[in-house]
């Protein structure tokens, strides 16, 4: 039988990180000692007290059935409590919080609740690929908002044509930002809210990196007046508690928007495994010194890599949040050429900026997911490359 894939599936670009992983594995097979600064997946294990809570919850038979619904009441309450203490924003745990099987799942399904064919979706680029994938799957029309250095990697709404704004149904934003590591302040969120209200656009703020910061604590979109009227925020336990493999996060904010997402989800999945929700409760309500330690670890790595690169002729800004370094490539090279050279001549895997959007051309993204000695080794190897 000839298997014919759907037009939508054929329209998708290959998932970037799967491609990078394939190249990395091929190099390892050739015997190369690879230093992987590619995919943003924490190298440290989930803190013990969270794993233990998960183990105990796994032993309870009542957790082995379909979870159904928007999450355990206890989980949603833990989210609301954490949110209030971290951001000073109160959430109704019953109507304004929905557990997710990782925020990627929620972001991917979000479009199904709101997008009709032809609706415009405003998407930051370079950016997390899922915003555009969900748009393609719903026959929406992606409109890419470039994140440029001259605008501090914030979208410039005045550059978006009026007719696009009128047709826009959903806007994604993401701060602290992957891949540029930029942060946003209340003033920017106020502008977003004004645009959303004027053109009736649903705002989806992806806050997966809200806890990976080195200077000022990032604020929540929902902490700005009027935000809850127009939008929701996506959160993840993946980066904050080194839980990428567990698959748990949540969406919170506007009750009508949450209801739309929850309706899609109840038709497609049957909820988050309750044992994992219990581990999530332990993460959110337990001691937070593990998060502080993690920030310290990434900070050391950030300083080693950024100072090191700047010391050998690169020009790299020190990020104030996320575990990414968004580095301008040496003059005269494209992102892809630099990624190729780093892999072939130094055994270093990193992400080409243009793979995450055309405005990422001229940059590569390094993830700070290896230890300081390996970063020092990477620097030694980069220094030997002839440009
Ligand atoms: C890692 C990441 C996520 C989500 O991760 P999940 O593991 O699915 O919760 C979401 N957005 C961005 C920008 C990310 O980098």
Query: What does 56-103 look like in DSSP terms, one character per residue?
Result: HHHT-GGGGS---TT--HHHHHHHHHHHHHHHS----TTTSEEEESSH
Provide CATH 3.40.640.10 ranges for the chain.
48-285
> In this predicted structure, what is the pLDDT of residue 298?
98
Q: Which helix (H) or strand (E) is 264 found in, with range?
A: helix 255-268
What is residue 379's predicted lDDT score, i.e. its pLDDT? Answer: 98
Percent of the chain with pLDDT over 90: 92
Q: Is the CB of 369 under 6 A from ligand 1?
A: no
The answer for 43, left when phi > 0, alpha when psi is -120 to 50, beta otherwise, is: alpha
User: Per CATH, which fold does 7-45+289-384 belong to?
Assistant: 3.90.1150
CATH 3.90.1150.10 segments of the chain: 7-45+289-384
Query: CA angle at residue 279 from 281 to 77, to 5 degrees?
Result: 15
Q: What is the pLDDT of residue 387?
A: 86
Contact by Cβ (8 Å): 332, 339: no
Give the pLDDT score at 350.
95
Tell me the per-residue pLDDT of 354-374, one tens digit each, with 9 for 90 and over.
Answer: 999 999 999 999 999 999 999
Using the mean position of ligand 1's atoms as its centre, give its distance from the Cα of residue 332 in Å. 32
Q: How confident is the model at residue 22 (pLDDT cuts 50, 70, 90)?
A: confident
Inform me whether the pLDDT recorded for 39 exceeds 90. Answer: no
The protein residue with its alpha carbon nearest to ligand 1, atom 11, reads: 208
| Residue 233 CB–ligand 1 contact under 6 Å | no
Interval 84-111 mean pLDDT: 98
Does residue 111 have its Cβ closer than 6 Å to ligand 1? no
Provide the percentage of residues in the chain whose pLDDT is more than 70: 100
329 pLDDT exceeds 80?
yes
pTM (global) more than 0.85: yes
CA of 99 to the centre of ligand 1 (A): 14
- Report the C-alpha gap between 232 and 364 in whole angstroms: 30
How large is the average pLDDT for residues 39-64?
A: 96
Chain mean position to CA 207: 7
pLDDT of residue 20: 75
CATH class of the region 48-285: alpha beta
- For the segment 5-24, the average pLDDT, to the nearest whole number, is 83
Q: Ligand 1 mean position to 1 CA, how many Å? A: 37
Mutational pocket test of ligand 1: of 102, 124, 236, the residue with most ligand atoms within 8 Å of the beta carbon? 236
Question: Where does the pLDDT of residue 19 fall: very low under 50, low under 70, confident under 90, or very high at 90 and above?
Answer: confident
Indicate whether residue 208 lines ligand 1 (CB < 6 A): yes
- Span 289-306, average pLDDT: 98
Residue 319 CB: number of other CB atoms within 10 A?
25
Tokens representing 48 are 């013990």
Mean model confidence pLDDT for the chain: 96
pLDDT tens digits, 118-170? 999 999 999 999 999 999 999 999 999 999 999 999 999 999 999 999 999 99
CA of 36 to the centre of ligand 1 (A): 18
Confidence of residue 382 (pLDDT cuts 50, 70, 90): very high
- Ligand 1 atom nearest the C-alpha of 248 is 9
Residue 294: the pLDDT is 97
DSSP reduced 3-state for 361: coil
CB of 212 within 6 A of ligand 1: the answer is no
Q: State the pLDDT confidence band at 92, using cuts at 50, 70 and 90.
A: very high
Confidence of residue 14 (pLDDT cuts 50, 70, 90): confident
- pLDDT at position 33: 94
pLDDT, tens only, 69-90: 999 999 999 999 999 999 999 9
Atom 2 of ligand 1, nearest CA residue: 208
For ligand 1, whether the C-beta of 235 sits within 6 Å is no
Res 253: pLDDT:
98
Atom of ligand 1 nearest to the CA of 239: 1
- Mean pLDDT over 197-218 rounds to 97
């Amino acid at each position: 039988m000839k298997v014919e894939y759907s037009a939508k599936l054929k329209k998708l670009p290959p998932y970037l990180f799967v491609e990078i992983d394939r190249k990395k594995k091929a190099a390892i097979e050739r015997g190369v000692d690879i230093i992987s600064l590619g995919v943003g997946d924490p190298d440290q294990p989930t803190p013990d007290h969270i794993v233990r809570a998960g183990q105990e919850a796994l032993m309870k038979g009542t957790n082995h059935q379909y979870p159904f619904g928007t999450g355990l009441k206890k989980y949603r309450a833990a989210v609301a409590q954490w949110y209030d203490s971290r951001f000073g924003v109160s959430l109704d745990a019953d109507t304004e919080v929905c557990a997710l099987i990782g925020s990627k799942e929620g972001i991917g399904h979000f479009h199904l609740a709101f997008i009709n064919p032809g609706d415009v979706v405003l998407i930051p680029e370079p950016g997390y690929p899922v915003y555009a994938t969900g748009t393609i799957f719903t026959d929406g029309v992606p409109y890419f908002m470039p994140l440029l250095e001259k605008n501090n990697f914030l979208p410039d709404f005045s550059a978006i044509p009026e007719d696009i704004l009128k047709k826009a149904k959903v806007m994604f934003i993401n701060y602290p930002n992957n891949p540029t590591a930029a942060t946003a302040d209340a003033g920017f969120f106020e502008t977003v809210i004004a645009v959303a209200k004027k053109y009736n656009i649903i705002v989806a703020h992806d806050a997966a990196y809200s806890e990976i910061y080195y200077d000022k604590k990032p604020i929540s979109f929902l902490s700005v007046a009027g935000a809850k009227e127009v939008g929701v925020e996506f959160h993840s336990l993946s980066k904050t508690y080194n839980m990428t493999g567990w698959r748990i996060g949540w969406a919170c904010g506007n009750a009508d928007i949450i209801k739309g997402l929850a309706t899609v989800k109840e038709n497609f999945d049957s909820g988050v495994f309750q044992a994992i929700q219990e581990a999530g409760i332990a993460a959110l309500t337990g001691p937070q010194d593990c998060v502080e330690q993690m920030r310290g670890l990434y900070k050391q790595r950030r300083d080693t890599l950024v100072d090191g690169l700047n010391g050998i002729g690169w020009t790299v800004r020190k990020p104030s949040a996320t575990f990414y370094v968004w580095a301008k490539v040496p003059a005269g090279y494209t992102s892809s050429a630099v990624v190729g050279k780093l892999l072939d001549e130094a055994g270093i895997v990193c992400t080409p900026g243009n793979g995450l959007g055309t405005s990422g051309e001229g940059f590569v993204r390094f993830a700070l997911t290896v230890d300081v000695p390996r970063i020092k080794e990477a620097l030694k190897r980069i220094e030997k490359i002839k440009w």
